[in-house]
Structure 1
Amino acid sequence: MKKTFVLVVLFVFPIVVYLFFASGVNNFGKLPVLTENIQDVSAYNAQVTFEDKITILGFLGADVDLKKGNAFNLNQKVYKRFYEFKDFQFIMIVPKGTESKVEELQKELNELADVSKWKFIFIEPSEIVSVFSSLKTNLELDASYSTPYVFIIDKDKSLRGRDKEEDNAILYGFDATSVAEINNKMIDDVKIILAEYRLALKKNNANRDI
């Protein structure tokens, strides 16, 4: 029995891990950098930063109740799948005054998963606009300072996405209202960036051994 367990660990597990990441390879091989030097949220909350983190960034806006469906989609499809990876986090930016609504949302999310890596930043509307503008996308915030789109920010505070979609459009973010887009594009791209950093870590470790 012990021999079987050891064989599984040595041979089967590495294959499973390989297939997991291999399934996330899209046409780009490496997820393109679309915008560098995104404004860091640490300017508004010293406990939270994009630096050295792989971040899913969202803007829930003032009508938090109306965005619960988006949050649940992301929680079930993306967060629960990847939150155990080191340095992975969700950051949601919301206007000041929504604290009680966010607390209610956190309680509901916590019933489904450990939400310790969901971070909420409460800032003024003008500051929300400033962070969003630093992404330099073709998207806009609505009147409540929200957008259904979420964004992948890498450890160097750069926006990652796709620079050549089927219609030659740039994919800056992912529509959290669309389960199909989350399943078919976002999960794929999160796998790629996680694999990218894992490979870089292995390379650095190998260089140290040399």
Structure 2
Amino acid sequence: MTNRNKKRIVLFLLFIFPLICFLILSTGENNFTKLPVVSENIIDISQANNSKKFQLKEHISIVCFLGDNVNINKSGLLNLNEKVYKKFLDYKKFQILAFYSKRNEQEVQKLKKEIGAFTDMQKWKFIAASKEEIEVFYSSFSFDEPLVNLSSSKAFLIDKNVNLRGRLNDDGKGGKLYGYNLNSVAELNGKLKDDVKVLYYEYYAAFKEKNKNKANRKEVGL
């Protein structure tokens, strides 16, 4: 190999290759695909429930339905806690809302103690609601899989504008993903966790773009 060729290789590695990497990354950010909305205008829980203590607006929320038998989804909630909740505990405006029938208060308290044995529970919200409140809230998801005794094996991801997020082409099969299977560690770890990350990045990218536009307006005197 001649000295000239060696110099060309060194030049490529030092200057051109990093530039190509930068351009690829920049293009990826600009063409970033947002997490799809699968149902718009979900009823905020503050509207379905008289209590104003909880709300979906301005939060990134994972919603679960425990129904009449809390123990049916017990293992699923433990999965959710380990694979998703603990990963986002320190993220702003993150919460998990778990709805249950009012008569199951004792069972819920036991469940909270079990989950909270090794977990900071500050962003777990357990909400007692009537049958009518749960059904009205769930019906706004426009999901054709009915609740069974007011419970579901799915966890649902809701954004700050109270829209249901998911996937339009799940696993390349052309079907919509409305909720994530609580009993599948692979789905919670490989889909829900990733989709929450995408949603946070979406808001971060929007925040950066907003600040960039503000700076541009200041430069032109607007």
> Normalising by structure 1, what TM-score?
0.83
3-state SS of paired residue (1:85): coil
Q: Does 1:61 align with 2:61?
A: no
Q: For 1:163, which of 168, 187, 193 is the aligned residue?
A: 168
Q: For 1:112, which of 102, 114, 118 is the aligned residue?
A: 118
3-state SS of paired residue (2:134): helix
Aligned residues: 183
Q: For 2:84, which of 75, 78, 81 is the aligned residue?
A: 78
Q: Distance in 2 between matches of 1:100 and 1:208?
A: 52
3-state SS of paired residue (1:170): strand
Q: Distance in 1 between matches of 2:64 and 2:204?
A: 24
- 1:11-30 equivalent positions in 2, closer than 5 A: 29-30=33-34
- 1:28-47 equivalent positions in 2, closer than 5 A: 29-43=33-47, 44=49, 45-47=51-53
- 1:1-210 equivalent positions in 2, closer than 5 A: 29-43=33-47, 44=49, 45-142=51-148, 144-165=149-170, 166-210=172-216
Unpaired segments ≥5 residues, structure 1: 1-24
Q: Distance in 1 between matches of 2:157 and 2:138?
A: 13
Q: Following TM superposition, by how much is the alpha carbon of 1:113 offset from its aligned partner in structure 2, in angstroms?
A: 1.3
Which residue identity lines up with residue 172 of structure 1 in the other structure? Y
3-state SS of paired residue (1:146): coil
Matched-pair contact (CA < 8 Å) for 2:101–2:129: yes
CA RMSD, Structure 1 to Structure 2 (Å): 1.6
- Alpha-carbon displacement from aligned partner over 1:149-193 (angstroms, at most 9, x marks no partner): 011100000000111122111100100001111122111111100
> Normalising by structure 2, what TM-score?
0.78
Q: Distance in 2 between matches of 1:113 and 1:201?
A: 31
Which structure: larger Rg? 2
Higher helix proportion: 2
Which residue identity lines up with residue 145 of structure 1 in the other structure? L
3-state SS of paired residue (2:176): coil
Q: Distance in 2 between matches of 1:91 and 1:184?
A: 21
Q: Following TM superposition, by how much is the alpha carbon of 1:209 offset from its aligned partner in structure 2, in angstroms?
A: 4.0
Q: Distance in 2 between matches of 1:130 and 1:200?
A: 32
Q: Following TM superposition, by how much is the alpha carbon of 1:203 offset from its aligned partner in structure 2, in angstroms?
A: 2.4
Q: Following TM superposition, by how much is the alpha carbon of 1:61 offset from its aligned partner in structure 2, in angstroms?
A: 1.1
Q: Distance in 1 between matches of 2:156 and 2:82?
A: 17
1:18 alignment partner in structure 2? none
3-state SS of paired residue (2:42): coil
- Alpha-carbon displacement from aligned partner over 1:99-139 (angstroms, at most 9, x marks no partner): 12111111111112111111111111121111111000122
Which residue identity lines up with residue 118 of structure 1 in the other structure? W
